[in-house]
Structure 1
Amino acid sequence: MEISREILSVGDLNRAIASSLEERFDIVWVSGEISNFKAYDSGHWYFSLKDEEGQIRSVMFRGRNSQVGFLPQSGDLVEVSASLGMYVPRGDIQLTIQTLRRAGMGGLYEAFLKLKAKLAKAGLFDAERKQEIPTHPRSIGIITSPQAAALKDVLSTLARRAPHIPIVIYPTLVQGTDAPRGIIAALHAAEKEQAVDVILLVRGGGSIEDLWAFNDEQLAYAIAQSPIPVVSGVGHETDTTIADFVADLRAPTPTGAAELAAPRKDQLLQELAAIEQALLQRVTQRVEREAQTLDQLALRLSHALPNPERMREQIRHWQQRLNQAWIVRVDSWKRTQSHQQQQLEMLNPQRTLERGYAVVLNTKEGIHAVRKPKELCLNIDFEIRLAEGVASVQFATITPEK
């Protein structure tokens, strides 16, 4: 007697295999090398993961790969979390990837978490330890690489918000094994010179490896022990380093650090105007109170003294002198406020340019002002800033004069 058996279609068999794989395997972590990477217009990524013993097809859909932070290339070593299944139309077993990171990032992140917990236990993140950021710094220090794009953004922001505040740059590496030692040396240099009231520690965004210098334990202690308040502006808003937790104030970006450290010029003028108004109001109130007191005394004297007319004349005399004294005091405060406004305006670099001066800037290695004749070179573009514009020039001949 022939035993009856169910005959499956290829599609049914593949679906049964896919269902079995999904039930058997939960989310798995797999490491391997990317091969045959393709990014389609739909936003989905298709590639294979391989090692010396085999390979497996993989797909990462647009909703997931938008969170990766970099575009993988064939040959990259990566670690992925994925569900295992089958692409039924072709009968191919494949990984549907949920997360993807460069190989080794898991170890770095674990090291980051361990150091963070250690320093938190030591009290380096405590709010009571952090210093107040001065609201009106006399000078601002910047610790970063002279070649960093972040430096240009910070200088531009400071020039727009507070052109009257001097800036001191402490150049150092901000990436690589030597970077922590260089940043610590820059902090010590700023501490020794005592030339700035606040320090901006800035760097542009990057991967966890690029920003790893800011996860150094010795650097964390150097920031915590700095007598000068430190504002960190490392990476993008989503990037977080140990330096951010230790710093006295953390900004989401380098530009944000500059905005937090420098008051706006127009805001300063508004504050001065508000102070002037408050002083005038207080003086007026005081004069009115004193006038009322004088009226009360005059009334009492008119009943107590034998010559009230003479005493009233004296009262009027003293009242006049008091009013004149207050008027002189108010005028003095007004002149002082006006003088301070003029000084603030005189510090504006634009005023110097409008008097006929110009600034020669060397733009080859960062932007810095030329101060000595020997810094001028032939066949190199220099930028000359004038009162009404900027010009790029090259010197044909240079003849230093004593």
Structure 2
Amino acid sequence: MFAHLSSPSQAVVSVTELNKTVRQTLEASLPILWVAGEISNFKRYDSGHCYFSLKDAGAQVRCVMFRNRAALLDFRPLDGLQVEVRAVVSLYEARGDYQLTIEAMRPAGAGALFAAFEALKKKLDAEGLFDPARKRPLPAFAQRIGIVTSASGAALRDMLTTLRRRWPGIEVILYPSAVQGVQAPAELLAAVRAASTRNEVDVLIVGRGGGSLEDLWAFNDEMLARAIAAAPMPVISAVGHETDFTIADFVADVRAPTPTAAAELASPDRSSYLRRLDSLAQQLQRSMQRQLQQRMLAVDALARRLRHPGETLRMQCMQLQSLNMRMNRAIHGNVSSQQQGLAQLERRLTRQLPDLTPVQHQLERLQGRLLQAGQRQFASQQQRLDYARIRLDTLNPRAVLARGYGYVTLADGQLASSVDQLPPRTAATLHLADGEVGITVDPAAPNQGVLF
């Protein structure tokens, strides 16, 4: 095929056609085969597809494992892991990259370690050491935190820095141990047992920084796993990076993706609690202000209800005046209504009465005639009266006295009409026209009717 493409008599082909022909040639000429190598630059994307390189001492090749095949793996691919892959040799046409499309993957150089890891994992899981029901919660405020790790490792420095930043008052007790190598399992076991025996911390962190599968293998020790499960305090496993898993991770009460994350899990965040306290203080202040304002409003309401007797009397007087005004308006309105009704009745009565104008004229004429008759009768009676007055004057004794006559009355006021009533020395009164004068009968005078 290549000889055919290179013939001078053929037209020039495009890059796309070239890459397509090469891919088809590779896939057709090479059967599915097993390739051994070390994983490098492994990445699993959100889509589930995995991309990495497979290398050995002399070369490397790009690899892709699509989601449907990656979901069948019973272990976690990691950088540095020796594996054997069943693959199709192909070409990624868009970039012209030669690559392997992985159909299956199995551990190679670390196959024995993975087998031992899986066997121990199944054993301990069957015994219930991984049961979530036996996991203990972490204390909210740990007073002391124990750390099982290398005294010279970067993981210890990271954890101490995090603890000082988050809660400076926490006391840290280090149980130093090797974290890799032949002596690491025994030292890790001794450190965990020492922490359990002394039982002086509230939570224990067991961990180290990242590394290869062989570097982390000490944390897959069965005795260490059982010691962690038997510890009297909660244990946080913080081994390697987020993608690293060990038996210690499964048996511990809490797994932290990194040592720094373990320190954050074990310690309260001072700044967040300070913010929380500040928020609570502000809420308390606002609550107290609201309650104080409510109490002040209640006092004001009671003060408004609590009046001086004089004020109460004044209010009652005002209310009485208001009621009096309302009563007067009601009476006035009632009277006005009655008056209006009466006026209406008067108008109706007026409409019902007969016309009295002729009678009124006749009455006026009769009154005139009656007045004239009365005047005439008065004049006649006046004449009669004048005549009687003249006659009376004629008969009036005082008129006689005016002509020079007089009369005598006795001491008892009796009129003396005879001299026999006037014996000598009798006191009497002589009445004349212009007055009266007292007299005494002279005893020497003869009793011949002469009084004095």
TM-score normalised by L of structure 2? 0.47
How do 1:49-198 and structure 2 match up within 5 A? 59-61=60-62, 69-70=79-80, 78-83=82-87, 96=100, 98=102, 103-198=108-203
Distance 2:193 2:177 in 1: 12
Distance 2:225 2:128 in 1: 12
Q: Against the structure 1 CA distance between its residues 176 and 31, is the aligned structure 2 distance closer, same or farther, given a 3 Å change threshold? A: same
Check if 1:240 corresponds to 2:245: yes
Q: Against the structure 1 CA distance between its residues 68 and 138, is the aligned structure 2 distance closer, same or farther, given a 3 Å change threshold? A: closer
Distance 1:8 1:264 in 2: 68
Asked if the contact 2:54–2:61 (Cα under 8 Å) also holds between the matched residues in 1, the reply is yes
Asked if the contact 2:63–2:101 (Cα under 8 Å) also holds between the matched residues in 1, the reply is no
Asked if the contact 2:144–2:173 (Cα under 8 Å) also holds between the matched residues in 1, the reply is yes
Which stretches in structure 2 are left out of the alignment for 5+ residues?
7-21, 39-51, 66-76, 92-97, 297-452
Higher relative contact order (CA 8 A, sep 6+): 1
Distance 1:246 1:144 in 2: 17
Distance 2:140 2:224 in 1: 26
User: Match of 1:224?
Assistant: 229
Check if 1:214 corresponds to 2:219: yes
1:281 is displaced (CA, Å) by 8.2
Distance 1:257 1:203 in 2: 11
1:97 is displaced (CA, Å) by 7.9
| SS of alignment partner, residue 193 of structure 2 | helix
Q: Against the structure 1 CA distance between its residues 11 and 18, is the aligned structure 2 distance closer, same or farther, given a 3 Å change threshold? A: farther
When Rg is computed on C-alpha atoms for both structures, the one with the higher figure is 2
Q: What are the superposed Cα offsets for residues 240-263 of structure 1, whole Å, 9 maximum, x if unpaired?
A: 111111111111101000111111
1:130 is displaced (CA, Å) by 0.9
| SS of alignment partner, residue 61 of structure 1 | strand
Asked if the contact 1:230–1:248 (Cα under 8 Å) also holds between the matched residues in 2, the reply is yes
Q: What are the superposed Cα offsets for residues 62-89 of structure 1, whole Å, 9 maximum, x if unpaired?
A: 768xx7624x9xxxxx5432536599xx
How do 1:292-303 and structure 2 match up within 5 A? none
Q: Against the structure 1 CA distance between its residues 124 and 289, is the aligned structure 2 distance closer, same or farther, given a 3 Å change threshold? A: farther
Q: Which amino acid aligns with 2:34?
A: V
Give the percent of matched residue pairs that are identical in Structure 1 and Structure 2: 41
Q: Figure out how many residues of one structure are paired with residues of the other and give that number.
A: 260
1:17 is displaced (CA, Å) by 7.8
Distance 2:155 2:167 in 1: 18
Asked if the contact 2:64–2:101 (Cα under 8 Å) also holds between the matched residues in 1, the reply is no
TM-score normalised by L of structure 1? 0.53
1:192 is displaced (CA, Å) by 2.4
Distance 1:108 1:97 in 2: 26
1:129 is displaced (CA, Å) by 0.5
Match of 2:210 among 183, 200, 205: 205
Distance 1:68 1:194 in 2: 37
Distance 2:263 2:24 in 1: 60
Distance 1:205 1:272 in 2: 37
Q: Against the structure 1 CA distance between its residues 85 and 48, is the aligned structure 2 distance closer, same or farther, given a 3 Å change threshold? A: farther
Q: Against the structure 1 CA distance between its residues 235 and 16, is the aligned structure 2 distance closer, same or farther, given a 3 Å change threshold? A: closer
Q: What are the superposed Cα offsets for residues 133-167 of structure 1, whole Å, 9 maximum, x if unpaired?
A: 01110111111001211111111111111111111
Q: Against the structure 1 CA distance between its residues 124 and 44, is the aligned structure 2 distance closer, same or farther, given a 3 Å change threshold? A: closer
| SS of alignment partner, residue 191 of structure 1 | helix
Q: Against the structure 1 CA distance between its residues 84 and 227, is the aligned structure 2 distance closer, same or farther, given a 3 Å change threshold? A: same
Distance 1:200 1:186 in 2: 11
| SS of alignment partner, residue 158 of structure 2 | helix
Q: Which amino acid aligns with 1:60?
A: V
Asked if the contact 1:80–1:97 (Cα under 8 Å) also holds between the matched residues in 2, the reply is no
User: Match of 1:326?
Assistant: none
Q: Which amino acid aligns with 2:243?
A: T
Match of 1:250 among 255, 262, 265: 255
Distance 1:95 1:267 in 2: 50
| RMSD, matched Cα | 4.4
Distance 2:286 2:171 in 1: 35
Q: What are the superposed Cα offsets for residues 322-344 of structure 1, whole Å, 9 maximum, x if unpaired?
A: xxxxxxxxxxxxxxxxxxxxxxx
Match of 1:26 among 23, 32, 46: 32
Q: What are the superposed Cα offsets for residues 304-354 of structure 1, whole Å, 9 maximum, x if unpaired?
A: xxxxxxxxxxxxxxxxxxxxxxxxxxxxxxxxxxxxxxxxxxxxxxxxxxx
| SS of alignment partner, residue 175 of structure 2 | strand
Q: Which amino acid aligns with 2:262?
A: A
1:201 is displaced (CA, Å) by 1.0
Asked if the contact 1:175–1:210 (Cα under 8 Å) also holds between the matched residues in 2, the reply is yes
Greater CA drift, 244-253 or 271-280 = 271-280
Asked if the contact 1:81–1:97 (Cα under 8 Å) also holds between the matched residues in 2, the reply is no
Q: Against the structure 1 CA distance between its residues 171 and 203, is the aligned structure 2 distance closer, same or farther, given a 3 Å change threshold? A: same
Q: What are the superposed Cα offsets for residues 162-208 of structure 1, whole Å, 9 maximum, x if unpaired?
A: 11111111100111232222112112222222321111112001111
Distance 2:238 2:171 in 1: 19
Which stretches in structure 1 are left out of the alignment for 5+ residues?
1-6, 33-42, 50-57, 73-77, 88-93, 292-402
